[in-house]
Amino acid sequence: MLLPKDIHTILPDLDTTPLTDIALVLDLGTLQSSLIAERNKLSLACSMLDMQVVEEAQLFRCYEDEAKIRLQQLIDSWTQLQEKAYSEAIGEGQQEWQCLWEQAAIKVEQLANFNHINVTNMQQLIEELSLLDMLLAKYINRKYLGLQTRAIVSN
Protein backbone atom coordinates (compact mmCIF):
# COMPACT_ATOMS: atom_id res chain seq x y z
CA MET A 1 0.00 0.00 0.00
CA LEU A 2 1.39 3.37 -0.99
CA LEU A 3 1.18 6.21 1.48
CA PRO A 4 -0.19 9.57 0.34
CA LYS A 5 2.39 12.10 -0.80
CA ASP A 6 3.65 14.38 2.01
CA ILE A 7 2.05 12.24 4.72
CA HIS A 8 5.23 12.63 6.78
CA THR A 9 4.63 16.38 7.12
CA ILE A 10 1.38 15.61 8.92
CA LEU A 11 2.42 12.42 10.72
CA PRO A 12 6.22 12.56 10.86
CA ASP A 13 6.68 9.47 13.07
CA LEU A 14 4.37 7.21 11.10
CA ASP A 15 5.87 3.73 10.94
CA THR A 16 3.90 1.36 8.72
CA THR A 17 6.03 -1.66 9.60
CA PRO A 18 3.72 -4.19 11.25
CA LEU A 19 4.63 -5.40 14.72
CA THR A 20 6.50 -8.70 14.66
CA ASP A 21 3.62 -10.74 16.06
CA ILE A 22 1.15 -9.21 13.62
CA ALA A 23 3.56 -9.80 10.72
CA LEU A 24 3.74 -13.47 11.72
CA VAL A 25 -0.06 -13.74 11.65
CA LEU A 26 -0.14 -12.03 8.24
CA ASP A 27 2.42 -14.57 7.00
CA LEU A 28 0.18 -17.33 8.38
CA GLY A 29 -2.74 -15.95 6.38
CA THR A 30 -0.64 -15.88 3.22
CA LEU A 31 0.49 -19.46 3.81
CA GLN A 32 -3.06 -20.68 4.37
CA SER A 33 -4.23 -18.87 1.23
CA SER A 34 -1.50 -20.63 -0.74
CA LEU A 35 -2.52 -24.01 0.67
CA ILE A 36 -6.15 -23.35 -0.22
CA ALA A 37 -5.14 -22.31 -3.75
CA GLU A 38 -3.12 -25.51 -4.24
CA ARG A 39 -6.02 -27.64 -3.01
CA ASN A 40 -8.45 -25.78 -5.27
CA LYS A 41 -6.22 -26.22 -8.33
CA LEU A 42 -5.84 -29.93 -7.65
CA SER A 43 -9.59 -30.30 -7.05
CA LEU A 44 -10.34 -28.48 -10.30
CA ALA A 45 -7.91 -30.67 -12.24
CA CYS A 46 -9.45 -33.79 -10.71
CA SER A 47 -12.97 -32.69 -11.61
CA MET A 48 -12.05 -31.68 -15.17
CA LEU A 49 -10.03 -34.75 -16.14
CA ASP A 50 -11.51 -38.16 -16.82
CA MET A 51 -9.42 -40.69 -14.89
CA GLN A 52 -10.75 -43.46 -17.16
CA VAL A 53 -8.84 -41.93 -20.08
CA VAL A 54 -5.19 -42.99 -19.81
CA GLU A 55 -3.74 -39.70 -21.08
CA GLU A 56 -5.87 -37.62 -18.75
CA ALA A 57 -5.02 -39.82 -15.76
CA GLN A 58 -1.32 -39.43 -16.60
CA LEU A 59 -1.76 -35.67 -16.91
CA PHE A 60 -3.45 -35.56 -13.53
CA ARG A 61 -0.65 -37.61 -11.91
CA CYS A 62 1.95 -35.20 -13.34
CA TYR A 63 -0.01 -32.24 -12.03
CA GLU A 64 -0.43 -33.95 -8.67
CA ASP A 65 3.34 -34.54 -8.45
CA GLU A 66 3.97 -30.84 -9.14
CA ALA A 67 1.38 -29.88 -6.54
CA LYS A 68 3.09 -32.11 -3.98
CA ILE A 69 6.41 -30.32 -4.63
CA ARG A 70 4.71 -26.95 -4.06
CA LEU A 71 3.01 -28.41 -0.98
CA GLN A 72 6.37 -29.45 0.46
CA GLN A 73 7.67 -25.92 -0.05
CA LEU A 74 4.64 -24.57 1.80
CA ILE A 75 5.15 -27.06 4.63
CA ASP A 76 8.79 -25.97 4.90
CA SER A 77 7.61 -22.34 5.09
CA TRP A 78 5.08 -23.37 7.76
CA THR A 79 7.81 -24.99 9.84
CA GLN A 80 9.92 -21.83 9.72
CA LEU A 81 6.92 -19.65 10.52
CA GLN A 82 5.95 -21.85 13.43
CA GLU A 83 9.48 -21.67 14.85
CA LYS A 84 9.41 -17.87 14.65
CA ALA A 85 5.98 -17.75 16.29
CA TYR A 86 7.00 -19.97 19.19
CA SER A 87 10.22 -18.03 19.74
CA GLU A 88 8.40 -14.67 19.79
CA ALA A 89 8.52 -13.08 23.24
CA ILE A 90 4.85 -12.24 23.77
CA GLY A 91 4.56 -11.47 27.46
CA GLU A 92 0.95 -10.44 28.00
CA GLY A 93 -1.32 -12.66 25.93
CA GLN A 94 1.01 -15.67 25.86
CA GLN A 95 -1.81 -18.17 26.46
CA GLU A 96 -3.89 -16.68 23.65
CA TRP A 97 -0.85 -16.69 21.34
CA GLN A 98 -0.23 -20.38 22.06
CA CYS A 99 -3.87 -21.24 21.42
CA LEU A 100 -3.84 -19.32 18.13
CA TRP A 101 -0.80 -21.22 16.84
CA GLU A 102 -2.02 -24.59 18.09
CA GLN A 103 -5.26 -24.12 16.13
CA ALA A 104 -3.27 -22.83 13.15
CA ALA A 105 -1.23 -26.05 13.21
CA ILE A 106 -4.42 -28.10 13.05
CA LYS A 107 -5.75 -26.07 10.12
CA VAL A 108 -2.46 -26.20 8.22
CA GLU A 109 -2.35 -29.97 8.69
CA GLN A 110 -5.91 -30.26 7.32
CA LEU A 111 -5.13 -28.02 4.35
CA ALA A 112 -1.89 -29.88 3.62
CA ASN A 113 -3.68 -33.23 3.46
CA PHE A 114 -4.31 -33.67 -0.27
CA ASN A 115 -6.13 -36.98 0.18
CA HIS A 116 -9.84 -36.98 -0.62
CA ILE A 117 -9.99 -33.46 -2.03
CA ASN A 118 -13.46 -32.26 -2.96
CA VAL A 119 -15.33 -28.97 -3.17
CA THR A 120 -17.52 -29.65 -0.11
CA ASN A 121 -14.50 -30.47 2.01
CA MET A 122 -12.80 -27.21 0.90
CA GLN A 123 -15.80 -25.09 1.86
CA GLN A 124 -15.79 -26.60 5.35
CA LEU A 125 -12.04 -25.97 5.74
CA ILE A 126 -12.44 -22.36 4.65
CA GLU A 127 -15.32 -21.81 7.10
CA GLU A 128 -13.21 -23.25 9.92
CA LEU A 129 -10.57 -20.57 9.33
CA SER A 130 -12.89 -18.10 11.06
CA LEU A 131 -11.89 -19.75 14.34
CA LEU A 132 -8.38 -18.44 13.76
CA ASP A 133 -9.79 -14.94 13.27
CA MET A 134 -11.52 -15.18 16.65
CA LEU A 135 -8.33 -16.44 18.31
CA LEU A 136 -6.34 -13.59 16.78
CA ALA A 137 -8.86 -11.06 18.09
CA LYS A 138 -8.66 -12.65 21.52
CA TYR A 139 -4.86 -12.43 21.48
CA ILE A 140 -4.82 -8.81 20.31
CA ASN A 141 -7.42 -7.83 22.93
CA ARG A 142 -5.32 -9.43 25.65
CA LYS A 143 -1.88 -8.19 24.57
CA TYR A 144 -2.60 -4.71 23.29
CA LEU A 145 -5.74 -3.75 25.17
CA GLY A 146 -5.32 -5.83 28.32
CA LEU A 147 -8.81 -7.25 27.89
CA GLN A 148 -9.63 -10.79 28.90
CA THR A 149 -12.26 -12.47 26.72
CA ARG A 150 -14.22 -15.68 27.08
CA ALA A 151 -12.52 -18.95 26.23
CA ILE A 152 -13.08 -20.18 22.71
CA VAL A 153 -13.80 -23.87 22.49
CA SER A 154 -11.88 -25.60 19.71
CA ASN A 155 -13.52 -27.99 17.25
How does pLDDT run across 33-62, given as a tens digit for each residue? 899 888 888 888 888 888 899 999 999 999
Q: How many helices (DSSP H) and strands (DSSP E) are in the chain?
A: 6, 0
Q: Is residue 78 part of a domain?
A: yes
DSSP state of 115: T
Q: Is residue 44 part of a domain?
A: yes
The count of domains in the chain is 1
Q: Is residue 5 part of a domain?
A: no
Q: Is residue 115 part of a domain?
A: yes
Q: Is residue 154 part of a domain?
A: no
Residues 6+ apart with CB under 8 A from 84: 24
Q: Is residue 127 part of a domain?
A: yes
Whether the pLDDT of residue 100 is over 80: the answer is yes
Q: Which domain holds residue 61?
A: 20-85+94-142
Q: Is residue 12 part of a domain?
A: no
Mean pLDDT score of the chain, rounded to an integer?
Answer: 82
Q: Is residue 9 part of a domain?
A: no
Whether the pLDDT of residue 14 is over 70: the answer is no
